[in-house]
Amino acid sequence: MARKKVALRYIRNSSTRRVTFEKRRNSLMKKAGDLGALCNTKACVLVYGEGASMPDVFPSHADAVAILSKYKYMPDLVQFKNTMSQEEFLIERITKLQEEANMFRCEREDREIRILLHKAMLGGSLDAHEVARVGPKLEVILKNLGDRITKISKKPPALQPHATYVTNNIGDVSSTSTEASGLA
């Protein structure tokens, strides 16, 4: 049976508060003992109760003093190896988020360029800005294809002549048919 979520707030009834404190204190000390046994570590717990002059100590006062003094006299390098200030944490988190944002930006740009390439392959026209964006990506794709062909066939790909670009008389059917017949 699952427990209900307990609201973390001050318990006004003193007898209920005392009983809850004792139960949770005992549970905390049991868990500290289990942690020490399961992980072969030394753990101690100090709990200051409401109105108590001395804390409740686990496992014993002498063992807790030994554990705390061993920690206190540890070199700073070992003692604070994994600790960081709030500023260091925020700088690290910002750096990770910036790297993630750059990765998403690169993926988005790559997707947009592939859409433009697809548009051009279907016969759509690209403006100068779009051509400038597509050019470097197209070169990378062609280089990767050449590398794959080389890897699969174990010989370099044969150089194929590029088609000449027609810059004048684009709409004139007679000039394109003349050029096409000249190529044949």
- Tens digit of each residue's pLDDT (9 = 90 or more) over 139-172: 888 888 888 888 888 776 666 655 554 444 444 4
All residues at 6 or more sequence positions from 158 whose CB lies less than 8 Å from its CB, including other chains: none
Domain total in the chain: 2
Q: Is 154 helix (H, G, I), strand (E, B) or coil?
A: coil
Let me know whether 35 and 58 are in one domain: yes
pLDDT at 16: 92
Phi, psi of 56 (to 5 degrees): -80, 130
Rounded Cα gap, residues 123 and 120, in angstroms: 5
Q: Give yes or no for residue 175 having a pLDDT over 50.
A: no
What CATH number is attached to the domain comprising 47? Answer: 3.40.1810.10
User: For residue 21, what are the domain limits?
Assistant: 14-79
When pLDDT is averaged across residues 51-69 and rounded to a whole number, the result is 89
Q: What is the pTM of this model?
A: 0.41
